[in-house]
Structure 1
Amino acid sequence: MMGSMMGTPLLVSSLIRHAARHAADTEIVSRRAEGDLHRTTWAALELRARRLAQALERLGVAAGERVGTLAWNGYRHVEIYYGSAGSGRVCHTINPRLHPEQIAWIVHHAQDAVLCFDRSFLPLVESLWPQLGCVRHFVLLADAADMPEASTVPGLLCYETLVQAEDGGYEWPELDEDAACGICYTSGTTGDPKGVAYSHRATVLHAMASACPDALGLSSRDSVLPVVPMFHVNAWGLPYSAAMVGAKLVLPGGQLDGASLYELFEREQVTFTAGVPTVWLGVLEHVRRHGLRFSSLQRAMIGGSACPPSMMEAFESYGVEVLHGWGMTEMSPIGTVSRLKAKHLHLPAAERHRLLHKQGRALFGVEMEVVDDDGRPLPWDGASAGALVVRGPWIIERYYRHERSALMELPGRGAWFPTGDIATIDADGFMQITDRIKDLIKSGGEWIGSIDLENVAMAHPAVQEAAVIAARHEKWGERPLLIAVRKPDAALTREELLAFFEGRVAKWQVPDDVVFVEALPHAATGKVQKLKLREQFKDHLLHSHPAH
């Protein structure tokens, strides 16, 4: 027997139509490259998104073709999200922090027909356009008055001129919900970047699940500021989930320093924000240095890499709840969020923090397991560590333009996506990443995870940032090497930092040496580039023979 419900497709356009109808006058505030704060509403943005859809038709951009973006978080970028995907095109957000050659490779691989970009990226596009033969239309995200007098980019178009030339008399088409609406590329730390094509169905389901109370807990009463860029896995889906619930959306542009973000938090009474740990270092330092408080901020989602417990505790001291999350480009991206169950609320503070420091419980729609080397599931006991695998309706099956599936078969369990993480899951479903498979340190046949050691180092009051890598050792094969950045004006010696580990980890896990550096290398997504550190310091312990 079949059900008798309507077969209405799940489409990205339904999100913006709902916001325009039910949150018509709710604000979208953007800090523009021009320096001012721009204000619009969901209703006005939806109209401009329809005008953009008309402009794409007038330019001859066919359904299914890719519309590339090189842009910060702003209202025009949101219009492209909806105007391209809602009309049957595919929104392709490109990370401008990548190496220019990688950007050119990604544009070619995606075969972008249009490239829309902020004024700050005009020099980049001017240097790259001869390599971007697939792009038919280059569009500068600017007013007519801000267009350059001359540019080497051929036929450079003005975004505002295109949008304002249309009347908005456009009906969102009914599309196949399994059609692609967006595409993002992995950062390509090993080999070429890989594309992940998101379907309308996956994107809407991800928005619904991520907004739920045990996930991000979003509602129409929130003022949402995504610090995570819209070119980093669609700002973790926030432009979609904010529209779905009708929340106020505050977009910081390219000014992501602590002072600028704090000013926006206070001016726009932000209640929810999200970003990677490196961003919050600057915000917390600004607040601490100037003796400030947060007057409205209630929740901060931290993901992209593990949130150090010291950072979580710092936010809590200001009355801000940290939602520790985990996900991947291949997962749209959110997979877990660390939220307590009712039975945990009355636990001692130390026990509650122990749970909250984990990556958290799976959203509905995400199944996860930890498996051994033979693919057999390990018990959910919080101690058995294995390879983390996932599956669900917003998780990749294969990479864009790859013939082979990205999945692995588990004996008698079907196909799952291998995340590349080592993790444990406890009886209550709290998952904890213990390391990336490639970041584990094998010392004399025993495995040492780098994340726990990094968390200890980050808890030292004089440490700004830290990374632990495997360095070659003549006796043990590999040993942990700690690479640390001191806080400004802090005095800290190697011996003092190593002594800080005593009693916090097993003696045999304490790093063999400390190297102090001015800054750690970061990937375009904000993660520490351990590959660079491993290459630079792989022989450090062989050469230095530190005292034990």
Structure 2
Amino acid sequence: MLGAMQSWELVVTHLIDHAAREHGAREHVTYWADGTETRANWASIRHDALRMTQALRALGIRKGDRVATLAMNHSRHLVSWYGVAGAGGVLHTINPRLFEDQLEYIANHAEDRVLLYDAAFQPIIDKMRDKWPTIEHYVCYDPPEEFGGMGFEDWIGAHDGDTAWVPVDERDPCMLCYTSGTTGNPKGVLYEHRSTMIHAMAGIQPNAFDFDARSVMLPVVPMFHAASWGLPWAGAITGVKFVYAAVNDPAVLCNLMEREGVTHSAGVPTVWLAMFQHCDSTGTPLPKLQQAIIGGSAAPRFMIERLMKNGSRVAHAWGMTETSPIGTVGAPTPDWDSLSFEEQVDIVTRQGRPVFGVELRTVDLDDWTKELPRDGKSAGALQIRGPWIIERYFRAEEDAVTEDGWFNTGDVGILHPDGTLQLTDRTKDVIKSGGEWISSVELENAACGHPKVAEAAAIGMPHPKWDERPVLFVVAKEGCECTAEEVIGHLEPLVAKWWLPDAVEFVDDIPHTATGKISKKDLRARFADYTLEAAE
């Protein structure tokens, strides 16, 4: 026997239809790379998306075809999210920070047929065009004067928007994102309409992004990174006002936040560090946000404290491309109001609790068949499952999950009795010394709390007695002189004695991945010949 409710496919075009119908006049602001600004609203975004759907059909784009973007955050990019899905296509957001061989690989692996791009990335287009044989059409979002190619506004301007979305099934794909490829080639994650809709509904809840019709969101997280954390989809549900910046200049971001009344922002820790540095060097007050969402990597305690003291709720989140990406989000606990500030910070430094739809467990690092207790002490390999979690990578021959449906995240974490997740490392980065595990992430975050330290990275170096010992690589803040003794002295009251690094090395820079995370792989390669004095 079937139920007697209406059949309503969970497809993402419902999101833009709802936003245009119920929040049509709600404004969107874009600050472009050339310093100009444009304004749109949800109704005009939908109209332009319908015109784009017509333009894609005219190019011969069919259901399931991949349409790529190489672009920063702006309203025309948002139009493309809905325009491609509305044409039955699959939006493939390409990270322009990837290395040339990765750019070549993912566009060819995806077999993209159309590429829309920002003028700032014209040099990439010129270099890669001959290496992308499947791409038939190129469209520039913001063409310069006397541009010889096709500009976005002219392209969709040839159509009137009097059309309907291509019918699709809720299990059809709508978006393709590739991992950053820290080991081997990047892997494609193919999101479906159904999973994306459920993820968007989860994202707006109070314990996640906490969106309502009053929210003004400036997403610093790029639209090419992990589906922009699902913000373009979730924002449509409540009619969020989006404020976009095609540049990540902290001065621009701070100005937009103040001028446009931004209530929410989202970015990786390096984004917030850059804003701190700008405000400190210029005397500019740190913008007062209702909510600061931090993800991508663990945020150091001093960052969380500063944002909380500035009146912001800090939503410390964890997720990955394979999880759409929401896995856990930090939110106030039932006893929040009775806690001291330090106790509240203790909670926020963790990565929060799973939103409904996500299940987590940890397993023994040496025996993945052994599930660990949620005791707030046992660190293990983190696994996840749920309706917006990957089952199989794009074009892979085998599933990426265990027989009972768990995906191995590659993270090491501790689950507390209340379900709170505390990430301690990546499985490939955790340091094993004398049979015990040392968290490189906790060492790094503790070191970054030193007033003279701009950035730090810890890796394990071979040791004849202990197998591995931690070495901390540090970038000192500009104009500051810092010593290894100062850093060790700062760490001593914060970590166990046997966690203290055997050496502190000062470097000019620390390598990062295309998504802004510290690249331990490149750091190890750079110091492949490094030998600890005690190990000589």
Give the TM-score normalised by structure 1: 0.95
- Taking the aligned partners of 1:293 and 1:89, their CA distance within structure 2 comes to 44
Q: Do the aligned residues in 2 keep the contact of 1:471 with 1:537 (CA within 8 Å)?
A: no
Report whether the alignment pairs 1:449 with 2:448: no
Q: Do the aligned residues in 1 keep the contact of 2:288 with 2:312 (CA within 8 Å)?
A: no
Mapping of residues 145-164 of structure 1, within 5 Å: 146-149=145-148, 156-164=149-157
Q: Do the aligned residues in 2 keep the contact of 1:33 with 1:119 (CA within 8 Å)?
A: no
- Taking the aligned partners of 2:535 and 2:508, their CA distance within structure 1 comes to 21
Q: 1:346 to 1:312 in 2, by over 3 A?
A: same
Report whether the alignment pairs 1:203 with 2:203: no
Mapping of residues 163-202 of structure 1, within 5 Å: 163-202=156-195
2:266 equivalent in structure 1: 274
1:226 equivalent in structure 2: 219
- Taking the aligned partners of 1:457 and 1:484, their CA distance within structure 2 comes to 8
- 294, 297, 300: which one pairs with 1:308? 300
- 464, 470, 493: which one pairs with 1:474? 464
- The alpha carbon displacement at 1:342 in A equals 1.8
1:463 equivalent in structure 2: 453
Q: 1:86 to 1:280 in 2, by over 3 A?
A: same
- Taking the aligned partners of 2:342 and 2:285, their CA distance within structure 1 comes to 24
Mapping of residues 483-502 of structure 1, within 5 Å: 483-502=473-492
- Taking the aligned partners of 1:345 and 1:529, their CA distance within structure 2 comes to 39
- Taking the aligned partners of 1:332 and 1:212, their CA distance within structure 2 comes to 16
- Taking the aligned partners of 2:378 and 2:528, their CA distance within structure 1 comes to 29
- 355, 365, 373: which one pairs with 2:357? 365
1:153 equivalent in structure 2: none
- Taking the aligned partners of 2:110 and 2:380, their CA distance within structure 1 comes to 34
Q: 1:374 to 1:107 in 2, by over 3 A?
A: closer
Give the 3-state SS of the residue equivalent to 1:241 in structure 2: helix
- Taking the aligned partners of 1:209 and 1:215, their CA distance within structure 2 comes to 7
Amino acid corresponding to residue 37 of structure 1 in structure 2? E
Q: Any idea what the Cα deviations from partners look like across 1:42-91, whole Å, max 9, x if unmatched?
A: 10111000000000011111111000000000111111100001221010
Report whether the alignment pairs 1:214 with 2:207: yes
- Taking the aligned partners of 1:147 and 1:364, their CA distance within structure 2 comes to 51
1:428 equivalent in structure 2: 418
Give the TM-score normalised by structure 2: 0.97
Q: Any idea what the Cα deviations from partners look like across 1:259-299, whole Å, max 9, x if unmatched?
A: 11111111111100000011111101112223332455211
Amino acid corresponding to residue 41 of structure 1 in structure 2? N
Q: 1:474 to 1:352 in 2, by over 3 A?
A: same
Give the 3-state SS of the residue equivalent to 2:424 in structure 1: strand
- Taking the aligned partners of 2:249 and 2:121, their CA distance within structure 1 comes to 19
Q: Do the aligned residues in 2 keep the contact of 1:471 with 1:539 (CA within 8 Å)?
A: no
Structure 1 vs Structure 2 CA RMSD = 1.5
1:129 equivalent in structure 2: 129
- The alpha carbon displacement at 1:539 in A equals 4.1
Mapping of residues 330-349 of structure 1, within 5 Å: 330-349=322-341
2:71 equivalent in structure 1: 71
Amino acid corresponding to residue 6 of structure 2 in structure 1? M
| Structure 1, 347-356 or 24-33: larger mean CA deviation | 347-356
Q: Any idea what the Cα deviations from partners look like across 1:509-548, whole Å, max 9, x if unmatched?
A: 1001111112211111110111111122244233x4499x
Amino acid corresponding to residue 386 of structure 1 in structure 2? G
Q: Do the aligned residues in 2 keep the contact of 1:92 with 1:183 (CA within 8 Å)?
A: yes
Report whether the alignment pairs 1:389 with 2:383: yes
- 509, 521, 529: which one pairs with 2:519? 529
Mapping of residues 227-246 of structure 1, within 5 Å: 227-246=220-239
Mapping of residues 46-85 of structure 1, within 5 Å: 46-85=46-85
- The alpha carbon displacement at 1:377 in A equals 2.2
- 254, 261, 272: which one pairs with 2:253? 261
Q: Any idea what the Cα deviations from partners look like across 1:346-373, whole Å, max 9, x if unmatched?
A: 1222222211110110011001111221
Q: Do the aligned residues in 2 keep the contact of 1:233 with 1:333 (CA within 8 Å)?
A: yes
- Taking the aligned partners of 1:101 and 1:426, their CA distance within structure 2 comes to 41
- The alpha carbon displacement at 1:503 in A equals 2.2
Could you tell me which runs of 5 or more consecutive residues in structure 2 were left unpaired when the two chains were aligned.
Answer: none
- Taking the aligned partners of 1:294 and 1:126, their CA distance within structure 2 comes to 40
- The alpha carbon displacement at 1:245 in A equals 0.9
2:22 equivalent in structure 1: 22
| Structure 1, 289-298 or 357-366: larger mean CA deviation | 289-298
Q: Do the aligned residues in 1 keep the contact of 2:381 with 2:412 (CA within 8 Å)?
A: yes
Q: Do the aligned residues in 2 keep the contact of 1:365 with 1:392 (CA within 8 Å)?
A: yes
Q: Any idea what the Cα deviations from partners look like across 1:136-169, whole Å, max 9, x if unmatched?
A: 11111135x63524xxxxxx32211111100110
Give the 3-state SS of the residue equivalent to 1:398 in structure 2: coil
Q: Do the aligned residues in 2 keep the contact of 1:370 with 1:423 (CA within 8 Å)?
A: yes
2:371 equivalent in structure 1: 377
- Taking the aligned partners of 2:320 and 2:175, their CA distance within structure 1 comes to 15
Q: Any idea what the Cα deviations from partners look like across 1:103-155, whole Å, max 9, x if unmatched?
A: 11110000001011110111110111111110111111135x63524xxxxxx
- Taking the aligned partners of 1:289 and 1:33, their CA distance within structure 2 comes to 23
Give the 3-state SS of the residue equivalent to 2:338 in structure 1: coil
